[in-house]
A and B are shown apart, each in its own frame.
Chain A
Amino acid sequence: MSEKKVFIIPCSGIGKVFGSISRKTAYILVNELAKGKTALECLPLIVKGKKEIIQALKENKVIAIDGCPLKCSYNDLIEAVGKVDAQFMTTEIVKENRDLKPESSIIPIGENTKALSRKLAEKIALKIDELLEEN
């Protein structure tokens, strides 16, 4: 098994629920579905230019999860690290599951929001295995 990890970088937005989905998805991956294969890093710290974190991201695989079309996570990673190995949008999982309208509440998040996060996490977990196979 590869020793490399996949870093999960959610967009961290707190203005809308789509950012909350990105965050919850990241936690599901790191704590459950891809535990031991993934790690979470702080986007603001990456943008700030924390050297040891940027080096770790360069040496491993990186997945961005964005909550809006401005794609802060993706764009910030490209700027700071120079690469993103896969990118996911929370808005896509919402479009694919019209029956699960995310609640507007951000703290705490609602049941539909949690369900959408799990669905997205399941999708990303498959990508994580693919990326680790490449190593």
Chain B
Amino acid sequence: MKKKVGIIACSGESLIGGTLSRAAARIVVEKLRPNQTIILCQPLFMAGNLEKHGGQEERDFAKNHPTITIEGCEEECAKIAVNRYSGTPKATIYIQEYIDAHPEVKTNSREKLGEEGINLAEIIAEDIAKKVDELYRTK
């Protein structure tokens, strides 16, 4: 049986990029590739004192499975966390590139994506799904 791909979204609340990263991750895992992917909880992944508080499972999963990180801003929190604790992610998606490529989409609300925002999340999710397929082909 092929290994599932771990999807780690930045999950940040401060910017629209975090909101889009979350939405895209959910679309991939719930609708586009439900049998090939799993969401890894980024805060849990990064949580301190994991031995005491649980959460080591997230890091172990990422050590033994391919991962795709989704970055909501240039800080690359998800990628840095995976690199630090589990090894290099197989792919990284940068939300800002999609925001720049779709200036027609109003992305001024970090709370409510609206129809246009959801459409953009779907475009991002389609690209993530293609990456998942590539990883499946190469494994």
Interface residues of A (CB under 8 A from B): 10-15, 19, 23, 26-27, 31, 40-45, 47-48, 50, 70-73, 75-76, 78-80, 106-107
Beyond A76-B47, A106-B26, whether A26 also contacts B13 by CB under 8 A is: yes
Q: Which of B59-67, B72-80, B90-98 contacts A (4 or more CB under 8 A)?
A: B72-80
Q: Are A42 and B18 in contact (CB under 8 A)?
A: yes
- What are 8 A-B pairs with beta-carbon distances under 8 A? A13-B44, A15-B39, A27-B13, A47-B43, A50-B75, A70-B47, A72-B41, A72-B44
**Size band of the B side of the interface?**
20 to 34
Chain B 17-51 interface 0/1 with A at a Cβ cutoff of 8 Å (1 = within): 01000110111000000000001011110111100
How far is the CB of B109 from the nearest CB of chain A, in Å? 10
Point out residues on B near A: beta carbons under 8 Å: 9-15, 18, 22-23, 25-27, 39, 41-44, 46-49, 53-55, 75, 77-78, 80-81, 111
Please provide the 4 A-B residue pairs with the shortest distance between their CB atoms, ordered closest to farther.
A79-B48, A44-B77, A42-B12, A72-B43
**Contact yes or no, A43 B41, CB < 8 A:** no
Q: How far is the CB of A118 from chain B (nearest CB, A)?
A: 14
Which residues of chain A have C-beta atoms less than 8 A from B54's C-beta?
A: 70
A14 near B9: Cβ-Cβ < 8 Å: yes
